[in-house]
Every structure is written in C-alpha cells, then in structure tokens.
Amino acid sequence: MTDENDPNDPNDPNVENDPHVMNKENLLSGVKELGYVVYEVSGLADWEHFGVTLLGMQLGERTSDGFTLRTDEKAHRWIVTEGPADDLVATGYEVEDPAALDALVERLRAAGVEVTEGDAALAAARKVDRLFLTTDPMGNRVELVHGLADAPTPFASASLLGGFVTGAGGAGHQVLMAHGVSRETYLAFYLDLLGFKVSDIIVEELAPGVVADLIFLHCNGRHHTVAFGDMPSPKKTHHFMVEVDDIRDVGLAYDRCMDAEQPFEMTLGMHPNDHMFSFYVFTPSGFSVEYGWGGLIIDDETWEVKTLDRLHSWGHRPPGVVAGLLAAAPNPMEGNH
C-alpha cells in the first residue's frame, strides 16, 4: 500500500521540496503525521451533509456502520461510525516504515505502555499495512500505523475551488482535552515516546480566575498536529482543523455553513501562533471543526518555542457577540427613503 514516490520518504531526493517534511532523523524516530481520525456519531445523515456539502470533503465509501470522508488522494482521512458517543474514538498516527513502527512499539513497551497488534480485519478496514493499538494517558485510543493506502480514484470535491492541505503535514490537527491529567504525564507519552516536539504554549486569562493554558505539539512542518488543554468539556476532542489551499474556499465554506444555519463556535479570525485564518463551526456531534487557510510551517532548525498570552490575534468572536454588535450598530440608510 506504499507509493514509490511517497513525498514523506526521507530517502527521496525530492523530500526537501516539501516544507512540511522535517529532517530525516525526526522522520525515522517516531510519528511522522496524523493519518486519520475515527468518530462515533449518532446522526450519520447529518454528518454526511456536514462533511460533504458544507465542508467540501469527498465521500470515500460506505461501510457496514457508517462511511469515510476524503480530503486528498488517501482512501480516507475521517472514518465516521454510528454510535452514541458523538466524540473522537481513535486517532491514526502514521510512521515512516515497518522498521520505524517496530521500533516505536518496542519503545512504548519498554516504558511499560501496553500495546497490542491490530488484526488483519482491522488493518483492512483502516486501509493500512499494519497497525498497533495503545492509549494515551487521557484514555484516548491511539492507532500507530504504516502504509495508509491511496484511494483508487483522484480526490474530487464538488465545492472547493482548490484543495485541502495534507501531504507530509498529514490530515490536519486536533485539540484534545487533558481532563485533569498533568502536562508532565501526557508530554512524557507524546514527546518522549511518540517523538513529538513542542511548538509553543498559550496562556490567556479569559476572565478573572479563568485561564486557558494550551500546549501545541508538532511531528512535521505543520505548526501543530495535536494540542492539549484542560478545558471544561465532557468530550475527548475540542476540534479538528482542516486547511485549504485557496483562501476563497474559507469564505465559501463560511457562507455554506451560515446559509445552512449550522451553529458556529467562532466567527472568522486568526491565531497568533500558527497564523491560521479560520472559523470554527460545530459538528452535528457538538465538537468543532476549524476551517482554515495559511497555516505556518515550522523549520526545526530555526524555530524557537515561546509562550504567548493570547489565543487569537483578531476575530474568532462568538457568533452571539458578533450578532449583537451588528444589530446594535446604527443603520445609516434608515430615514433616507
């Protein structure tokens, strides 16, 4: 299931042309990208409309308990299954090759982490050559995989002017809830064992006594592949980010979601750390999707980890606040007729 022209191959002379690719040492040491996510949802029809019609993804295939969604040449990036959780149920992180997978599993087991190999049926369902299953300190299921297959047909969106940004940067990024697990504990898993690196930290006092404290991690050039915050939420995930390569597609998706009366978490804005121009819209399951453009690419040779004091450079306001401000603004056209 591997591509002889795989842009993530560190031995490929063209690998240096992809800005998401980190150095060869990093590629061979652990996770190289976020391959896919698995969501369990209670409303399959609503989710298909959300993913395909509103976000511009392509329906991959229908399965016995749901369907898959594509954002690029891969067989799938999102796997949607029917069930009551309405939450993230697994994340597939891809490594470079079989030897890297074996080495990563050995490192986890040496640290006392339980790891089991997935059977052939699960590997076939995930469309990977091999996979191993474990859990992070928060209890999130982690699937370590190699050889995520390409789809038999090219990616085609019925809505996008351009495409989604994936490649060596993987499917996107996600922000997960720490649920009281100490930062030291989960960083020992993600940094020391899986091979992620810290991008930066944001600490902002949102209100007196209410502090948002998030840490962002990367495993390739994408500014972050996963981030963690101890926010009050019963869910495992806060959001998943998909990035498009044409800024016009952010506006078009914004309008599609608005016209469909899909609830928004945040209106258009930009983050100070990854420079993503984006909006946040709620999925039918109650967590969010960040839909963005223009994300920062990290060069580990020059990158400096910083602690920032704000989550948003501008915008990203709650829709109720925006609606109130717009409604309160005087209308200069009144009385001119």
Q: Please say whether the dihedral angle defined by the alpha carbons of residues 254, 228, 84 and 62, taken in this order, is positive or negative.
A: positive
Distance CA(15)–CA(24), nearest Å, equals 10
pLDDT reading at 337 higher than 60? no
Strand order in the sheet with 210-218: 306-308, 197-207, 210-218, 226-229, 173-177, 237-244, 288-293, 277-282, 264-270, 314-315
pLDDT, tens only, 251-293: 999 999 999 999 999 999 999 999 999 999 999 999 999 999 9
Distance CA(105)–CA(221), nearest Å, equals 24
Distance CA(159)–CA(249), nearest Å, equals 8
Instruction: Kindly give the pairing relationship between strand 141-146 and strand 87-94.
Output: parallel
Cα 15 from chain centroid (whole Å): 22
User: Tokens 């993503």 belong to which residue?
Assistant: 276
pLDDT, tens only, 76-122: 999 999 999 999 999 999 999 999 999 999 999 999 999 999 999 99
One-letter amino acid identity for 262?
Q
Longest CA span, the chain: 78
> Per-residue confidence at 19, pLDDT binned at 50, 70, 90?
very low
Percentage with pLDDT > 90 across the chain: 87
Judge whether 311 and 282 are in contact, CB under 8 Å.
Answer: no
Distance CA(30)–CA(321), nearest Å, equals 43
pTM greater than 0.75? yes
